[in-house]
Amino acid sequence: MADQADIDAVRELLGRVPRAEFDVVVRDDAGGPVVIRNAPLLDDGTPMPTRYWLVGAADRVKIGRLESSGVIDLAEAEIGDEALDVAHAAYESERSAALPSGHDGPVPTGGVGGTRRGIKCFHAHWAWYLAGGPDPVGPWIEERLAAESPPDASTD
């Protein structure tokens, strides 16, 4: 689980104290948290549907900009229901496997970010993709972000 420095950094990024145990699974070049992997239950036992959470400020901004451009429907159409269904099932399976042994209370349901079908939030898909998850939305987002970015002048 996260050490105090990571807890403090995530608290700063979120603007509040995290309510679940977590690990930092992706860091930026300076070592700061970009993606955290949450426990499947909050500290009070409430189910936590979002296993992978995008906390890095720069990534949240660029993914938010893409999402707000209104392309979620386009992403769903191009990726297809079958690939999204497979991704949601894999995400749910991983999160369920992390439940404490013998847990008999409420459990998180749904796939990426708690969604059962389609795409609810690019942020959750991008977080899982950056963490190494088999999310078909990640490469789709990556292509769009690459198309937005100007060529790197340092490679000339």
Q: Can you tell me whether residue 49 is helix, strand or coil?
A: coil
Signed CA dihedral, 142, 144, 10, 102: sign only: negative
User: What is the domain partition of the chain in residue ranges?
Assistant: 4-146
Taking the C-alpha atoms of residue 9 and residue 34, their distance in angstroms, rounded to an integer, is 10
| 134 token code pair | 């088999």
What end-to-end distance do the CA atoms of the chain give, in Å? 43
The per-residue pLDDT of the chain, averaged, comes to 94
Per residue in 37-88, pLDDT (tens digit) is: 999 999 999 999 999 999 999 999 999 999 999 999 999 999 999 999 999 9
Give the per-residue pLDDT at 152. Answer: 60
How does residue 151 score in pLDDT terms, banded at 50, 70 and 90? Answer: low
What is residue 30's DSSP assignment? T
For residue 16, the one-letter residue type is R
Q: Residue 47 forms beta bridges with which residues? A: 41
Per residue in 95-109, pLDDT (tens digit) is: 999 999 999 999 999
Confidence of residue 148 (pLDDT cuts 50, 70, 90): confident
